[in-house]
C-alpha cells in the first residue's frame, strides 16, 4: 500500500562527488517517508553491493522507503539483491526487481570498491549502519552457545576415547572442573535468584538503618531551669538637656523632648442673643441757663453724645452749640423763659437747641412717648422732649459671645489629650524610657467661627480651632540599664536577666535642669547562654552532662531528652543539640531572656580564626 503514497516523496539527486556517508545523511535528514534516489550517470558509489546494502539498511533504520530511479542494469541487479524498489522515472510506480542469477563478475566483486571516502570493510559497514547492539549480543550469545555445544560434544568424544584407550588426560580434566563449578553456581543462582536479590536488599537496608540510627538520627534536647532573684532599685538621678553634659555612669542622663503638633477643633453652643430689628429715632431739646449778670457764652454738644432716660439710651447724630451773647437789652428775645427781667435773676437766661437722636439698639422698647424730664447726659445741659420716639422693631438672633469662646477654650485644651499622648508614644522606640509625668499639652490662639457678636444660624454650632502642641521627655533606656547594672554590683558569674518597667518618680525642674528618682525591680541569676551550654555538654554521656550543668550555681533543674530511646549520649555535632532555657521569677512566672547574646562574639571569633588559618595557609 505504500506505493499509493509514492506521490508524496522526497527526491534526492545524488552528485558524482557524493560518497556513501553523504547519501546516508541525506536520507536521514529527509522529512518524507518515501525517498527517491536519482544516481548520476557515473556513480561508482552505486556499483558496490555493500553500498547498496548500506542504503537499504539506513532506510530501514530511519523508517523510510528508499526507491532508486535508474535504468542502469548493474544498479538494478544490485537493488534486486538488496530488495530495494526501483523505478525507471519519477512518474512510474516503483517495484522490487526479480533476482536473477548473478554473473561471475558480480559474485567475485569485492564488498567495497576502492574509491575516496567510501566504506572499505564489513566492520566499517557495521559501524556506519549503527546496528542494534541487542541484535549483535543475541547473535554472539547464539554463537557462543553453539561453540560451547561443539566443545562439549568434542570433549565428550575425547573422554570416551580416553576411557577406551585406558589413558587419562589430567590437563583437560583440570580445565573442565572450574567450568563445571561455574555451572553449578549458575544453576543455584538461577534457582535462588529472588532470595539473593531480596537478601541483598535487606542487608543494604540494615546497613542504611544502622548508619541513620547511630550516625544521623541521634539528637538531644537540653532543658535548663533557672530561678531568678528579684531585687529593688531606687536611686536619685539628674537630667540635662545638653548632650555634652551627660554622664550616665554617674546618674546624669541626657533628656530628649519629643513633640507633635495637631490642629484641634471643637464645636460649641452659642448663647448670645442679639436684636437686629430697626432702631427707634426722634427729637429732643438740649438747653442751658446763662446767668444774666455774666457775659453769655457757648455750650457745645458734640455728635455721638448719649442721652438716657429710664435705662434707654439715644445718641445724637450731629453736633450743636447753645450760645448767648450776654446782651441784657435782648433778654426778651433770646431767653425762652423770659417773663420779666426780675424773674431771670435767679434762673438765668434759658437757651435751647433741637437735636435728632437714634436709639443705641434696635427694639420696640425704644418707642417712648414725650418725656419732659428724667433725661441724663454727660454734657452740662438739660434735656427734654416734646415728641414721642418711634420706628423701633424687634428681630432676635443667636450670636457668639466672649463667654462662649472662653468656655470652648477649656474644652479645646483637654480635647483628645489621651489620644495625643498615645500618638506621641507610638513614635517613640522601645529603647527609650518615657517620663510619663513630663507630658504636657498647650493650645495656641483659638479662632472662633463665627466671631464674637456674629450670628450662628439655626441648627448649626459655632467652631473653635487652635493648634495643639503635645510634648513628653524621654531617656535612653540602654544607658539607664547600664547605670542599674553598675549600681547593682553583681558577682562575676551573675547577670541581670530583666529590668522591669523602670520609671522616674518626683520629676521636677530646677535651676540647673531636672531631677528625679529612678525606681524599678530587676531579676538576676547565673550567666547561661545556649552556646555555653552546648559547649559544656557536647560529646558527653547524658548523665555526665546533667551533672555538669547542675554544678552551675543558680541552675535549679536539668532535663536531657534523647531523640530516640537508644540515644545515650550528647552528639558532638552542635547542630543536633537543642537547648531550652526556662527562667522563672520567685512567683513562678516565666521570664524572657536573651539566651544568644554571645552568638555574635562567637561568630566574630570564628571568622577571625578562619581568616588567620587562611593567611597561614
* pLDDT over 80 (residue 592): no
- 3-state DSSP of 179-205: HHHHHHHHHHHHHCHHHHHHHHHHHHH
* pLDDT: which is higher, 174 or 365: 365
Predicted local confidence at residue 414, as pLDDT: 65
Of 11-25, 472-486, 537-551, the least confident = 537-551
Contact present, 356 and 317 (Cβ < 8 Å): yes
* pLDDT over 50 (residue 481): yes
176 pLDDT band (50/70/90 cuts)?
very low
Predicted local confidence at residue 582, as pLDDT: 78
Predicted local confidence at residue 547, as pLDDT: 76
pTM of the model: 0.42
Predicted local confidence at residue 183, as pLDDT: 66
**Where would I find the beta strands (DSSP E) of 203-255?**
220-227, 229-240, 252-254
Predicted local confidence at residue 315, as pLDDT: 97
3-state helix, strand, coil in the chain (%, to 5): 35, 30, 30
The closest of 330, 250, 320, 258 to 292, measured between CA atoms, is: 330
Q: Which of 64-78, 190-204, 576-590 has the highest mean pLDDT?
A: 64-78
> pLDDT (tens digit, 9 = 90+) per residue, 79-113?
888 888 999 888 888 888 876 544 444 443 433 33
The number of beta carbons lying within 10 Å of the beta carbon of residue 390 is: 13
Predicted local confidence at residue 148, as pLDDT: 52
* pLDDT: which is higher, 502 or 220: 502
* pLDDT over 50 (residue 492): yes
Mean pLDDT of 412-427: 77
Architecture of domain 2-131: 2-Layer Sandwich (3.30)
Strand partners for 526: 494
Sign of CA dihedral 72, 77, 82, 84: positive
Q: In percent, how much of the chain has pLDDT > 90?
A: 17
How far is the C-alpha of 87 from the C-alpha of 250, rounded, in Å? Answer: 114
321 pLDDT band (50/70/90 cuts)?
very high
Average pLDDT, the chain: 78
* pLDDT over 70 (residue 617): no
C-alpha angle 571-576-581 in degrees, rounded to nearest 5: 105
Where exactly are the structural domains of the chain? 2-131, 136-191, 277-393, 525-616
**Residue where the block lists cell 432676635:** 396
Mean pLDDT of 268-280: 89
Amino acid at each position: 500500500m505504500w506505493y499509493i503514497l509514492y506521490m508524496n516523496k522526497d527526491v534526492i539527486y545524488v552528485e558524482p562527488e557524493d560518497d556513501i556517508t553523504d547519501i546516508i545523511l541525506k536520507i536521514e535528514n529527509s522529512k518524507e517517508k518515501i525517498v527517491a534516489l536519482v544516481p548520476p550517470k557515473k556513480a561508482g558509489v552505486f556499483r558496490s553491493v555493500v553500498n547498496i546494502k548500506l542504503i537499504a539498511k539506513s532506510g530501514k533504520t530511519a523508517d523510510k522507503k528508499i526507491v532508486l530511479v535508474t535504468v542502469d542494469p548493474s544498479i538494478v541487479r544490485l537493488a534486486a539483491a538488496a530488495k530495494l524498489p526501483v523505478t525507471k522515472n519519477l512518474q512510474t510506480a516503483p517495484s522490487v526487481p526479480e533476482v536473477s542469477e548473478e554473473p561471475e563478475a558480480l559474485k567475485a566483486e569485492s564488498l567495497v570498491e576502492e574509491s575516496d571516502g567510501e566504506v572499505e570493510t564489513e566492520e566499517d559497514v557495521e559501524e556506519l549502519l549503527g546496528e542494534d547492539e541487542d541484535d549483535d549480543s543475541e547473535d554472539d550469545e547464539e554463537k557462543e552457545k553453539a561453540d560451547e555445544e561443539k566443545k562439549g560434544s568434542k570433549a565428550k568424544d575425547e573422554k570416551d576415547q580416553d576411557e577406551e584407550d585406558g589413558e587419562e588426560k589430567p590437563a583437560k580434566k583440570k580445565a573442565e572442573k572450574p567450568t563445571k563449578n561455574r555451572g553449578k553456581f549458575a544453576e543455584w543462582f538461577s534457582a535462588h535468584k529472588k532470595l539473593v536479590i531480596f537478601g541483598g536488599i535487606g542487608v543494604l537496608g540494615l546497613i542504611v538503618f544502622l548508619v541513620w540510627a547511630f550516625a544521623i538520627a541521634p539528637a538531644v534536647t537540653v532543658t535548663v531551669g533557672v530561678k531568678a532573684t528579684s531585687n529593688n532599685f531606687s536611686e536619685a538621678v539628674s537630667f540635662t538637656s545638653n548632650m555634652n553634659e551627660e554622664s550616665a555612669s554617674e546618674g546624669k542622663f541626657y533628656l530628649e523632648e519629643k513633640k507633635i503638633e495637631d490642629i484641634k477643633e471643637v464645636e460649641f453652643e452659642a448663647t448670645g442673643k442679639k436684636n437686629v430689628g430697626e432702631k427707634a429715632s426722634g427729637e429732643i431739646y438740649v438747653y442751658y441757663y446763662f446767668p444774666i449778670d455774666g457775659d453769655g457764652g457757648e455750650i457745645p454738644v458734640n455728635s455721638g453724645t448719649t442721652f438716657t432716660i429710664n435705662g434707654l439710651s439715644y445718641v445724637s447724630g450731629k453736633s450743636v452749640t447753645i450760645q448767648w451773647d450776654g446782651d441784657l437789652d435782648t433778654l426778651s428775645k433770646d431767653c425762652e423763659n423770659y417773663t420779666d427781667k426780675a424773674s431771670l435773676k435767679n434762673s438765668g437766661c434759658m437757651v435751647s437747641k433741637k437735636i435728632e437722636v437714634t436709639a443705641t439698639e434696635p427694639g420696640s422698647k425704644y418707642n417712648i412717648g414725650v418725656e419732659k424730664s428724667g433725661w441724663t447726659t454727660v454734657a452740662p445741659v438739660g434735656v427734654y422732649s416734646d415728641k414721642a420716639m418711634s420706628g423701633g422693631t424687634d428681630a432676635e438672633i443667636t450670636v457668639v459671645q466672649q463667654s462662649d469662646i472662653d468656655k470652648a477654650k477649656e474644652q479645646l485644651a483637654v480635647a483628645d489629650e489621651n489620644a495625643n499622648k498615645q500618638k506621641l508614644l507610638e513614635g517613640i522606640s522601645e529603647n527609650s524610657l518615657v517620663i510619663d509625668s513630663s507630658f504636657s499639652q498647650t493650645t495656641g490662639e483659638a479662632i472662633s467661627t463665627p466671631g464674637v457678636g456674629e450670628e450662628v444660624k439655626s441648627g448649626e454650632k459655632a467652631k473653635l480651632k487652635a493648634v495643639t502642641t503635645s510634648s513628653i521627655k524621654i531617656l535612653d533606656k540602654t544607658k539607664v540599664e547600664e547605670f542599674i547594672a553598675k549600681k547593682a554590683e553583681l558577682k562575676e558569674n551573675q547577670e541581670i536577666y530583666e529590668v522591669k518597667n523602670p520609671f522616674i518618680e518626683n520629676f521636677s525642674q530646677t535651676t540647673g535642669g531636672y531631677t528625679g528618682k529612678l525606681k524599678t525591680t530587676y531579676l538576676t541569676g547565673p550567666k547561661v547562654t545556649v552556646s555555653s551550654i552546648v559547649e559544656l555538654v557536647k560529646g558527653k554521656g547524658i548523665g555526665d552532662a546533667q551533672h555538669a550543668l547542675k554544678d552551675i550555681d543558680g541552675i535549679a533543674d536539668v532535663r536531657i531528652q534523647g531523640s530516640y530511646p537508644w540515644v545515650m549520649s550528647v552528639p558532638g555535632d552542635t547542630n543536633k543539640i537543642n537547648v531550652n532555657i526556662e527562667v522563672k521569677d520567685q512567683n513562678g512566672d516565666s521570664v524572657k531572656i536573651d539566651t544568644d547574646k554571645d552568638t555574635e562574639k562567637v561568630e566574630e571569633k570564628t571568622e577571625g580564626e578562619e581568616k588567620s588559618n587562611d593567611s597561614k595557609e
